[in-house]
Structure 1
Amino acid sequence: MEELKNYGHQHPLLMLNEEQLIGNGNGVVDCSRCGEKVSAPCFICVECCGFYLHKTCAEAPLELNHPFHRHHPLLLLQNPPYTFEPGTRCICDFCNETCEKFIYHCSCGLDFHIKCALFTFNIAERNLKELEHVALEDPSFSSKNDGGNLGKCFVCWEPLAMYTYFSLDCGFNLHKKCAELPPKMGHVCHRKHPLLLQFNSERLSCKICQVTPDRGLVYGCSTCNLAIHIDCLSPLPVIEDKSHQHPFTLFWRQIPFICDACGTEGHHVAYACCTCSIMVHKECISLPRIMQHAWHNHRVFHTYFIHKEYFRSLNCIWCYKVVDTEHGSYFCADCNVIFHVNCALKEKEWYCIVTQENEDDKSLDIPVNSITKVLERNDAGEATLIEHCKHKHYLMLSDKISEHGDKCCDGCLLLISAKFYHCLRCDFFLHKSCAELSKIELIFDHRCDEEHFAGLKPFILTSDCMFECELCTYLSNGFSYKCNECGIHRCVRCVFLQFEVKIPGHKHPLLFYYDYKGQCSGCGTDINKAYRCKDCNFGLCLYCVVRLTRVGHNCDDHPLKLTYHKINDYEKYHYCDICEEKRDPKYWFYHCETCDTSAHVNCVLGKYPLIKLGSTYNERDHPHPLTFAKKFPYYPKCVECGKPCEDLSLECAEPGCNYIVHWKCGK
């Protein structure tokens, strides 16, 4: 045992070696400074008050002039010098773990565990004797690793695989090459001054890859306010990728360049294909050649150059800014659709890469029409009499809105307009566009479970059940597209909603912005995705974009139109004619110009605007067919709960059977 010392403790401390520590019989104890398990040599309080110190923690200097942080000293503090909000923590800038006890702190905001500060100090001082007790291991030896996953190096934070590394008892892993990095080096990417190995105290982004490292070491130049990842200083000299027919060769650049693959700026490290005369970022060498994107029905192809005359519009369909065709883009030549490369790749859940094995398979691009058979055509070649896969009788084409203008399409549940098909034997109507829907749609951004991403999934057109749309959340008994794997439904209105829509009453088209934050101009709710006008301050949430523009209601004999402007400036007219409460003139309402009727949107639509009254419901255990009904005279009582039926209900269609039940009670 060595002589008694205090090391800042109120009682004398005694140093123990490994044999003495085991013989002391205190089991597993933690160091009172670093909080880690104590190992010999260590100090123990002679008064047995439970105070233990690693020898290295006891002898740690109160002020450390660290070679990786030359501007200020690191001061040893008993507690972090911060007042934190609830839930926030002090994080070590080397290992990225929480600092709870003694830490080394710098006035510029750097914080380190004692062990991290001293370990990096030994690396900086080339004091590799501190690592002599650690065996060099072959990273291919994976018996102590789950699946051979060897973790990452604590200096460069790159994977340890394919390198020899140190594995320290204190939990550090290092590449051998990182333990032996030179503290100072000259480099072709920065010839003005030498680069010094250091902590990234100013949180600078890497000058080469533009990523901001949140831990580990970098090479930096304080004079030029510059930081570079260790790994970025030694890129591969030649890279080959199957997406391009020629190899790319490393080309150091002293000035910025524009990447020919993505059209954005690059710094220092470029890769050139001299055969094709193109220069790209390292990461752009392996860009997907073909992808299926959620915002377009067909596949889009990457190219380095496009002739402008091939496109009517060069606006990217994600950000709606012009694409420079002198640089790379993703495009569909058939549909005049184009993306910036970074816009197409911005959200991983919105696209999937088409591999070489299936890039020639065009079968998924061919829609299967829901019209089973065309029986008659007019002189213009238009189908006038058809068989449809979702109806048992023939359907006839008509444009007689005056006779059927109050009827709803059984596909989308909107009022009939323009040309439509109708059944001469029953009350069945379909817009021409709804009759021509495809039987199968490949829908993107769909998860069949929470464990894995499902990618493109086939959705089947169905019409034989009640459903709640996954997107707009409306309950409906019209047509839907259903995923047979998980059972979710999407209504036909949401499936075919375009990323550019025209709203009656607004002179400009509305464009879908994925990351817009603001307030809906239709209903006033806060939104983080919107259909927005580029030219004026007008944006709509998804619910307002799919609002019924014409709807019938028993408050008026005429269809009510969704209205977007003030009908009357007099305040006394700003009332709802259904609930008789005030309405805000800034937001949308339904209006009849003939009768001057105005009403809140929700008062007109109610809870079930997309359920066709009079249609049959077969999912109830009753001997006769049930139909949807609403607003009965004398409000008959529900057979289940005994309360009056005032809203959507199911009634028996059989004469003499007085069965009636609330929809909520009957489902």
Structure 2
Amino acid sequence: MFEHEHPLTLKDLWSKQQQHEEESEEDEEENDDDLIAKQDFRSLCILCEEEINWFHRYYYTCCQCDYSFHQFCVELPERWEDICHAHTLYFLQQRGEWWCDICYRKHKPHHSRYHCSQCDFNVDVNCVVKEMLKNTMHHPSHIHPLVCMTKQILSKCDACGEEHKGTFYRCTMCPHSFIHKDCAFLPKKLQIQHTTNNFYSHIHPLTLEYSFPDADQSSKNFPRCRVCLQYFYNENLWIYKCEKCRYYTHLNCATSRNESFMSILTSPGTYT
């Protein structure tokens, strides 16, 4: 499989978040900036030339070359199915120049490829990985990888509880993990803009939570959403919250742009 002249180190972009959640509340504010920076991580994979971001979770680095690689690019399978008719493609490292039969890009010697000897069909790593990137994602809300549905549909989102039309991610192992892409890519931290209205102004970033159980609501004396003033009726829906101030909002209320006074949240460090 993929070979590199120097040792590679596997990095976990979620490790900072897991450590952050285990630390005491006294240290929470000090670590917010570190956590946000981790979630805003962007780098280019040298193998497929596509972005590495927080939702890919794992990536490899080479300290000597300052290169980054998707984990699945480094660990690509020896064989690949369903690209060249009913044939199996095998991973090769070509010594001479060659062309990808999907994107028609010319490749230099030693660039890796998948090859079908029966059809003399070549596919570069970039085209193979694009299939993986657009179809599968890791998400902290769920224990299994989520798969992108190939067709756009009209359906109810299990994250916000509202009906959406467009692209959804689902879990093939669980019946109740059906998330619209707009909700799937919401940032973990949001900051209320201080320039809006003093009633909504808030000094702490709000954290995205993937449920609000009845037991937690009861312990907080059943709070209402600070935007629409309604209760949280479905404990399985995602919310934004600040535990320190008992400040809670529905997912749609936090991100709505339908009314100017509801445009109160933005990623920390940026204001609109």
Quick check: which one's helix share is greater? 2
TM-score by length of 1: 0.18
User: Relative CO higher for 1 or 2, CA cutoff 8 Å, sep ≥ 6?
Assistant: 2
Question: Over alpha carbons, which structure has the higher Rg?
Answer: 1
